[in-house]
């Protein structure tokens, strides 16, 4: 199957919401599973590198597809506001570093896009799905607090409004006592 056909298939599956059954292991308040993955430049990125900051860890199906592009570009456009809230954006998909590099360059994405070629990290975050022999990440996001705990899980993501939703939730979390 060609790359274009795989991208189209991943896009259709995402569009129609064909996902595997959702596991119930991760929950708010739990430590976020640690990982080390390579970014679009081939640099190793560890979740622990961002301890002390909020992390938006978003999983997405495929580079340069309509929904994934909308979501990434909205994060890019909202980055100045998110940075004021001490937020680091990390995108994760099963695409390779070369695909991530092209995607990041084409849309001027100024945050790491992490390669999870084996799908292991995506699986640990309960975001791995498949259709026949094709595996990809479900569009899901984990908001991780500065102590490395899961503050919020977004399992039903609308790419066009997701960045704003995170900003609103983060503002509420920052205003709540004990945060």
Structure tokens at 118: 């084996």
Q: Are 90 and 45 in contact (CB under 8 A)?
A: yes
Q: Point out the catalytic residue in the list 13, 47, 57, 68.
A: 68
Calpha distance 119→135 (Å, rounded): 8
DSSP 6-21: HHHHHHHHHHTT--PP
Please state, in angstroms and as integers, the Cα–Cα distance from residue 143 to each residue in 24, 43, 147, following that order.
17, 23, 12
Q: Is 73 a catalytic residue?
A: no
Calpha distance 149→69 (Å, rounded): 28
Q: What are the φ/ψ torsions at residue 96 (nearest 5 degrees)? A: -85, 170
Q: Output Rg (C-alpha) for the chain, integer angstroms.
A: 15
What angle in degrees, to the nearest 10, is found between the helix axes of 66-84 and 162-175? Answer: 30
Residues that are catalytic: 68
């Amino acid at each position: 199957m060609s790359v274009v056909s795989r991208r189209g298939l991943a896009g259709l599956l995402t569009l129609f919401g064909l996902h595997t059954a959702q596991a119930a292991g991760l929950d708010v308040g739990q430590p976020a599973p640690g990982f080390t993955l390579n970014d679009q430049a081939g640099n190793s990125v560890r979740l622990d590198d961002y301890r002390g900051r909020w992390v938006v860890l978003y999983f997405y199906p495929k580079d340069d597809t309509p929904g994934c592009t909308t979501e990434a570009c909205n994060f890019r456009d909202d980055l100045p506001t998110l940075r004021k809230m001490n937020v680091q954006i990390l995108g994760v998909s099963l695409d390779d570093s070369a695909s991530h590099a092209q995607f990041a360059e084409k849309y001027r994405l100024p945050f790491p896009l992490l390669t999870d070629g084996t799908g292991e990290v995506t699986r640990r975050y309960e975001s791995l799905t498949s259709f026949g022999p094709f595996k990809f990440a479900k569009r899901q996001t984990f908001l991780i607090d500065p102590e490395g705990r899961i503050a919020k899980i977004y399992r039903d993501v609308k790419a066009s409004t997701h960045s704003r939703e995170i900003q609103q939730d983060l503002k509420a979390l920052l205003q709540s006592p004990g945060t």
